[in-house]
Amino acid sequence: MRKELEAARAAATAAAQLVLDYYARLTPAEFAPANVTTDADRRAQEVIFRILAEHFPDDAFLGEERTDFTEQFRHRADRLWIVDPIDGTRGFVMKNGEFAIMIGLVEQGEARLGLVLEPVENRLTWAVRGQGCWVEQPDQMPVRCHVSQQTQLSQATLVRSRAEQKSGPHPLLPTPREIYTYSAGRKLAMVARGQADVYASLFRGFHAWDVCAGHVLILEAGGVVTDGLGRPIHYHDPSQPIVGLIAANPDLHGQALVQLRPRLLRLVEEQPKPHRGS
């Protein structure tokens, strides 16, 4: 997948230049809702898809933002590019640096390539199935990434959403240290690089663009990633929400799943059932 990786890198780099230009001129917001979006999101996605489409016009494309250009490529294909142009837009508009550009490639429902670029740090973490997970920064050689060797949840570092920081320690996962950041891509990349041991969330509304790129990073770094019920994540129907998320090395993944699955099952069962015919 050399050609695909090179195109994804070029697309992410071009989008990062645009995003950082917006970021430099941005007046920070004190608060931003979870569903915030900006013109930078839309324009960055257009840049990414235009570059990818030049190289792979027969592929399908899915992004978080709805734009006129991307609507042209909403067709079924064996290969699907899944993009979040600014993952962690709250961090972007609050100007704390906690956002990332995420590009993933799916073949026949399976994530094959993932790239997470953190523009403020100018840090790129990428992976191709069967080729390992790597992190790069300017003027440095690429370094191979591995998930942590920690085997005890009671001694692990948990990465969580910045939005959960005021709620105190995680009620279900007894870890001695927690790291907070916006952007699911950043969290997954941190676990892949071994900077955090576990990322676990009960959020029931993850989308394919929140997970796909980071999914490949975790797998190629030697970790396990499933939904919060322990089910494998596939992208045959990327419109379906992903119910919870757990990413860690195999030992910690199993321990976290034991703690989270019963709570998530109850939450799912408590969801209102749709009315017949609706």
- Indicate the pairing of strand 143-144 with strand 110-118: unpaired
| Distance between CA atoms of residues 185 and 247, nearest Å | 12
Strand partners, 10: none
pLDDT above 50 (res 208) = yes
* Higher local confidence (pLDDT), 70 or 178: 178
Question: What mean pLDDT do residues 140-151 have?
Answer: 96
213 within 8 A of 186, measured Cβ to Cβ: no
Sorted by where each starts, the structural domains of the chain and their CATH numbers stand as 2-144 (3.30.540.10), 153-270 (3.40.190.80)
CA angle 53, 91, 114 (to 5 degrees): 35
- Place 163 in a pLDDT band, splitting at 50, 70 and 90: confident
Strand partners, 192: none
Q: What phi-psi label fits residue 48: left (phi over 0), alpha (psi between -120 and 50 degrees) or beta?
A: alpha
DSSP state of 163: G
pLDDT of residue 275: 40
| Distance between CA atoms of residues 106 and 211, nearest Å | 12
The residues, any chain, with a CB within 8 Å of residue 276's CB and separated by 6 or more, are none
This prediction's pTM: 0.93
pLDDT above 80 (res 35) = no
Return the number of other C-beta atoms located less than 10 Å from residue 72's C-beta. 11
Starting at the edge strand found earlier in the chain, the sheet holding 157-161 runs: 177-181, 157-161, 198-201, 245-248, 224-226
Summarised one tens digit per residue, pLDDT across range 229-262 is 999 999 999 889 999 999 999 999 999 999 999 9
Q: Which amino acid is at 78?
A: D
